[in-house]
């Protein structure tokens, strides 16, 4: 079935190789077919949406670290939970994501992996964000740096077990958070690199030397930089020092101003640049729901004043939305919209090896498109050409 063409016109378009002021972008059958300064003619085959010239048209954002939203969590291990997450993310400009697990007893992890794999295999539903794969966060992590991950369920890295889990997940595990200093980790990391799966240092007490050893084995990513890891010390650079020093490591940042102070976010951006930072939300099920009591891996989480914590005060993920992280990042660092696109779209797409179809606005790529107003609020989101969100219109 041939679908109607859609043309968005008049706004500034941030294309892969050019920025077009008062341009037009046209999609059909889920793909971008044209970016132009010249408008497509108005005809019966084209729906034309005229936008204010102060608006911005940017690529859909990719969240590689998100546990849940709107009361749902990947660990719920149901289609309904993942569908809920996929349905609400376009409100914040996210058009694709990695369903992120957490440390739990093995049977629960296996159930979540199998469910997510089957969900991905079933295919993206119209008007929802696409699940690009799975982020396995734990249980191959450090007990000393567990954060909100349940310590009792942490286990040593085990390649045989990981292979079983990848089979359960129908091959859809795309990123693994692992502590490189733990016995058995280097074997797993080397295998991940061979399989083009991103190996990420996180929830780790590794020394600088242990991080370097992990990099030689194949780590290339750092999970929520500064959080759940050995910090920077002038006599022991730790995970943070290694992450800041080595260009080979791409670093996640939770830009809510709570997990990391704005000044350190600015320092990180100055050191890493726009090509080695990936904005993530690390959001849990309370996102979109407000203050209250929630569950995270069988632990009670209190959300109050935009902060999610366990009973002992440990930060337990975030409730930030991606477009809020974008505004914060621009405020904290003074970066541009083009820089933001690099950190929310280009970098994650390249890391996940999907830049051929996602991560930028170019003819032939998936029509994952976000319209932002002059205040960087989301006005419309298209997922593969389907209108997934329009401000002021109920789903």
Please report the DSSP string for 221-283 in residue order: EESSTTTTB---BTTB-HHHHHHHH-TT-EEEE--SSSSS-HHHHHHHHHHH-GGGEEE---B
Phi, psi at residue 33, to the nearest 5°? -110, -15
Are 9 and 158 contained in the same domain? no
Are 148 and 218 contained in the same domain? yes
Count of domains forming the chain? 2
Q: Within a domain: residue 31?
A: yes
Name the DSSP letter for residue 141: S
Confidence at 37, pLDDT banded by 50, 70, 90: confident
Are 50 and 69 contained in the same domain? no
Are 364 and 285 contained in the same domain? no
pLDDT for res 39: 62
CATH of the domain at 18: 2.30.40.10
pTM score, two decimals? 0.96
Are 346 and 369 contained in the same domain? no
The rounded mean pLDDT for the chain is: 94
Are 151 and 280 contained in the same domain? yes
Are 299 and 369 contained in the same domain? no
- What is the domain extent for residue 376? 5-58+360-390
Active-site hit among 63, 73, 76, 282: 282
Are 245 and 371 contained in the same domain? no
pLDDT for res 315: 81
How far, in Å, CA of 248 to CA of 69, rounded? 31
Are 47 and 92 contained in the same domain? no
How far, in Å, CA of 53 to CA of 307, rounded? 36
Token pair belonging to 281: 């939300």
Are 251 and 382 contained in the same domain? no
Name the DSSP letter for residue 85: H
Are 47 and 108 contained in the same domain? no
**Is 282 designated active site?**
yes
Q: Within a domain: residue 395?
A: no
Q: Within a domain: residue 40?
A: yes
What number is the average pLDDT over the span 144-153?
93
Q: Within a domain: residue 330?
A: yes
CATH of the domain at 158: 3.20.20.140
pLDDT in tens, 214-241: 999 999 999 999 999 999 999 999 999 9
Are 69 and 52 contained in the same domain? no
The more confidently predicted of residues 305 and 190 is 190
């Amino acid at each position: 079935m041939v679908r109607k063409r859609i043309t968005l016109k008049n706004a500034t378009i941030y294309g892969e190789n050019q920025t077009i002021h008062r341009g037009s972008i046209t999609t059909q059958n889920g793909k971008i077919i044209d970016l132009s300064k010249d408008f497509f003619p108005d005809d019966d085959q084209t729906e034309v949406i005229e936008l204010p010239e102060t608006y911005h048209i940017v690529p859909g954002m990719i969240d590689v670290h998100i546990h849940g939203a709107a009361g749902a969590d990947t660990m719920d291990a149901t289609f309904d939970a993942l569908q809920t997450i996929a349905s609400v993310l376009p409100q914040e400009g996210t058009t694709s994501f990695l369903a992120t697990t957490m440390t739990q007893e093995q049977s629960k992890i296996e159930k979540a992996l199998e469910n997510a794999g089957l969900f991905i295999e079933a295919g993206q539903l119209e008007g929802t964000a696409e699940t690009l794969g799975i982020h396995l966060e734990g249980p191959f992590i450090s007990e000393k740096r567990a954060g909100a991950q349940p310590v009792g369920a942490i286990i040593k890295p085990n390649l045989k077990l990981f292979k079983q889990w990848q089979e359960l997940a129908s091959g859809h595990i795309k990123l693994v958070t692992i502590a490189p200093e733990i016995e058995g980790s280097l074997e797993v990391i080397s295998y991940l690199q061979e399989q083009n799966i991103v190996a990420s240092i996180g929830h780790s007490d590794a020394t600088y030397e242990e991080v370097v050893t992990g990099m030689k084995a194949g780590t290339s990513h750092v999970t929520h930089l500064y959080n759940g890891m050995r910090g920077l010390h002038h006599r022991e650079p730790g995970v943070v020092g290694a992450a800041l020093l080595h260009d080979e490591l791409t670093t996640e940042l939770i830009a809510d101003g709570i997990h990391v102070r704005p000044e350190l976010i600015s320092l990180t951006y100055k050191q890493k640049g726009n090509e080695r930072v990936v904005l993530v939300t690390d959001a849990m099920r309370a996102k979109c729901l407000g203050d209250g009591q929630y569950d995270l891996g069988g632990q009670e989480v209190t959300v109050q004043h935009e902060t999610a914590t366990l009973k002992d005060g440990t930060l337990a993920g975030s409730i930030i939305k991606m477009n809020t992280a974008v505004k914060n990042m621009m405020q904290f660092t003074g970066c541009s919209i083009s820089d933001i696109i690099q950190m929310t779209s280009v970098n994650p797409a390249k890391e996940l090896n999907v830049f051929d179809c996602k991560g930028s606005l170019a003819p032939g790529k998936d029509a994952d498109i976000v319209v932002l107003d002059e205040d960087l609020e989301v006005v419309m989101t298209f997922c593969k050409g389907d209108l997934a969100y329009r401000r002021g219109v109920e789903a």
